[in-house]
Amino acid sequence: MQVQLTNRQQHILWATVRHYIATAEPVGSKALVDEYDLGVSSATIRNVMGVLEKSGLLYQPHTSAGRIPSDSGYRIYVDQLIIPSLGYTTRTELVAKEVEQALQNRLHWEDWSLEAILQGAAQILATVSGCISLITMPQTTTAIVRHLQLVQIEAHKIMLIMVTDAYETHSKLINLSPAEEETKLDPEKIDHELQIVSNFLNSHLRGRSLSELPSLQWTELDQEFQRYGEFLQSSVTDLTRSHMTPTTTQIMIRGVAEVLRQPEFSQLQQVQTIIHLLEEEQEQLWPLIFAEPETQEIGKSKVTVRIGTENPLEPMRTCTLISSTYRRGMLPVGSVGVLGPTRLDYESAIAVVAAAADYLSDAFS
């Protein structure tokens, strides 16, 4: 969301969000004058808050009440007011170090099962963040490529078939590019070329683990087969990801009781829908938490922040989900996240998730 705010408007929005996060009470101009050194009068603050309300960043729950941040206000707060400097504040550095130290000291990789380790990590995240923590089990990346074959199905359609060492077969249909469609291709010549490219792929990829494929250098393809290079790379990567998609979802969840004591969850029906989602419909939650992060880099990890109505699932529309992936080498194998009310300590929660993702990536690599 692109909203251009003046320095004063940014400062007052920042103070309003911080005060509301701390108190859960609508914020008035007097509270900001008393608790923040804004350098302006109460009347000026009221005027600026009115402008922010007209911009959709604040709203009044009641006519006589102060104002609280909207989802759009939180979005500006996260994207423009805290993330650009998040890696450099003393408070977030301390939170990140606290998480890293706790994970190092309290998780016993030599003695515990992998599930027990991730359960322990989830408990640490829930305790430090005050949110519901979510950590997925890593997906299998040990499968080895046994054979690859390109087969012409019909004009301008090719099937890429991959067989792993467990004799599992995966396939992907490939449409040739529009430039290729304009050319009349000899089917026999195409079959011959596809066999040569298949031989080339097998000579380079047979015996490699699936986790290696997305990060390979594909410029080795001969110039004669350059037209196949781009869709071969994307197709093999797609096959790798589809092979790793879990048939059953296992998400370690901790901290539910604590976060549901927040005033935002005072209605029983709302609590029930969230618990039902976490316990009975994890397959819906999986694509959200395991999605490739799109936001700025925090530490070594990228973090995605979905605020309120940005979440596609109805039970989460009053919540914020902060998530990141942990990796084995370059390939994402699992995810870590926290779920809480939109009124949460974003700086600390983002730092917690990034630190945990970094720790798990280092451990699994």
Considering the domain architecture, whether residues 255 and 233 belong to the same structural domain is answered as: no
E strand intervals along 209-308: 251-254, 297-298, 301-302, 304-307
State the average pLDDT for the chain: 83
Considering the domain architecture, whether residues 256 and 316 belong to the same structural domain is answered as: yes
Is residue 1 one of the residues assigned to a domain? no
Considering the domain architecture, whether residues 72 and 111 belong to the same structural domain is answered as: no
Say what the pLDDT of residue 141 is: 53
Is residue 317 one of the residues assigned to a domain? yes
Is residue 353 one of the residues assigned to a domain? yes
Residues 176-189: what's their mean pLDDT? 64
pLDDT bin (cut points 50, 70, 90) of residue 183 is low
104 or 268: which carries more pLDDT confidence? 104
E strand intervals along 274-359: 297-298, 301-302, 304-307, 319-328, 331-341
Beta-carbon contacts of residue 284 (< 8 Å; ≥ 6 apart): 277, 313
> pLDDT tens across 318-350, in order?
999 999 999 877 777 889 999 999 999 999 999
Considering the domain architecture, whether residues 260 and 352 belong to the same structural domain is answered as: yes
Single pTM value for the model = 0.72
Check pLDDT > 50 for residue 247. no
Alpha-carbon torsion, ordered 332, 334, 336, 341, to 10 deg: 100
**Do the beta carbons of residue 153 and residue 270 sit within 8 Å?**
no
What is the span of the domain harbouring residue 219? Answer: 144-244
Angle at 183 between CA 182 and CA 184, to 5 degrees: 120
Residues 5-9: what's their mean pLDDT? 93
Separation of alpha carbons 122 and 99, rounded Å = 11
Boundary (domain end) residue, out of 244, 270, 285: 244
Q: Where is average pLDDT lowest: 168-172, 198-202, 213-217, 280-284?
A: 213-217
Is residue 234 one of the residues assigned to a domain? yes
Is residue 218 one of the residues assigned to a domain? yes
Separation of alpha carbons 161 and 180, rounded Å = 21
pLDDT bin (cut points 50, 70, 90) of residue 224 is very low
CATH number, domain containing residue 288: 3.30.450.40
Count of domains for the chain: 3
pLDDT bin (cut points 50, 70, 90) of residue 65 is confident
